[in-house]
Structure 1
Amino acid sequence: MSSATDVTDTTSMPATVVVYSHRPEVRAAVRTAVGRRPAADVGPVTWLECETGDDVVATVDAGGVDLCILDGEAQPTGGLAVSRQLDQEVVDRPAVCVLIARQPDRWLAHWSRAEGTLPLPIDPLTAPGVVADLLRARAQRPAVRR
C-alpha cells in the first residue's frame, strides 16, 4: 500500500537561484522580497549572488542553477544581454526572470528570451509568486540531453 508521502514532489525540492546586479542593494532587495521559501510548495531557495555578467555565465556553466534573476539595468552588461547570451549558449539553461525599470521594456525581456519579469523597485507582494511560478515550471520541464 502506498501513501502520499511516498511520492516525491519535485516542486518542493531545494532550488538554486542566481541574482545578478552590479548594485548590492538590488541583490539584497530581491533576496528579501522573495525570501528563502517563495511558496509552501517551492524551496528552500539557496541564493547565489553575481556582480558581473561573466560571473553569471560561469555560475550557470558550472551547473545546478534553477533560476536566474537578472537586473536589466546592471552595468556594464545588462541582464537583458546576459539572458540572451544564456539562451544562445547554454543547452539546458535555467529559467530567467529580468528586472525591468519600465513596463514598456517588457518587449526587451521577450527579445532576451526571459520567461518572466519583475518591475523595479521589487514588490514583495508579487515577487515571491513570480519566482515560485518560474521554479515550478522549471521543475516540470524535461531535462535536455547534451
Structure 2
Amino acid sequence: MAHTTDETLTVLVYSDDRNTREQVRTALGRRPAADLPELDYLECATTPAVLRALEKGGVDLCVLDGEAVPVGGLGLGRQLKDEIYGCPPVLVLIGRPQDSWLAAWSRADAAISRPVDPVALAEAAATLLRSRTAGRAPATR
C-alpha cells in the first residue's frame, strides 16, 4: 500500500525514564516497516499526560514501560483497555520474559522484554499498527 508523504501514525511512548523513551524512538525510527507511513512520537512521563493525550485522540499505538514509576505501564495498560472505548493497541515493555503473564493480565496487545531488542520491537509495533490502520486512514488529531 503506497502512502503519501503527509500521512503519519502517532505512537505514544510512556516511561518516567527519558532513556527508555529514547530507546523506543530509536528502535522504531521514522517508520518500523516500509509499508507503513512515517511515525510521529508523543512522549509522556506521567499517567495524567497519557490520559490527556488519549482523550484528545489521534494516537495509533501506545508503548508503555512496565517498569515506570509510580504507575507502571502494565497497570496503566489495563486501565486504558478498561476505560477507553476504541483504545489504541498497547505494547508493553516488560522487565523479563517471565513477566509475560502480567502483560496478559494488563490486556496488552503485545509485550517485549527488556533490554529492548530493536528488531523485535519494530516487528511487534508494525504488526499492531497494520491491524489498527487496516481499512481506514490513520487517526486524525
**TM-score with structure 1 length normalisation?**
0.86
Residue 136 of structure 1, CA deviation? 0.4
Which shifted more, 119-128 or 89-98?
119-128
Q: Of residues 87, 98, 103 in structure 1, which corresponds to 2:92?
A: 98
Matches for 1:4-23 after TM superposition, within 5 Å: 13-23=7-17
Residue 92 of structure 1, CA deviation? 0.9
Q: What's the CA shift string for 1:55-109, capped at 9, x where partnerless? A: 1111111100000000000000000111011111101111100000111111111
Q: What's the CA shift string for 1:99-130, capped at 9, x where partnerless? A: 00111111111111110111111111221111
Match of 2:55 in 1: 61
Amino acid at match of 1:102: R
Match of 1:39 in 2: 33
**Partner SS for 1:117:** strand
Partners of 1:139 and 1:55 lie apart in 2 by 24
Match of 1:115 in 2: 109
Q: Which runs of 5+ in 1 are unaligned?
A: 1-6
Residue 134 of structure 1, CA deviation? 0.6
Larger radius of gyration: 1
Residue 140 of structure 1, CA deviation? 2.4
Instruction: Let me know the Cα RMSD of the aligned residues.
Output: 2.1
Q: Identity over the aligned pairs, expressed in percent?
A: 47
Q: Which runs of 5+ in 2 are unaligned?
A: 137-141
Match of 2:81 in 1: 87
Match of 1:26 in 2: 20
**Partner SS for 1:73:** coil
2:107 counterpart of 1:124: no
Q: Give the count of matched residue pairs.
A: 136
Q: Of residues 116, 128, 135 in structure 1, which corresponds to 2:129?
A: 135
Aligned partners of 1:53 and 1:79 also within 8 Å = no
**Partner SS for 2:128:** helix
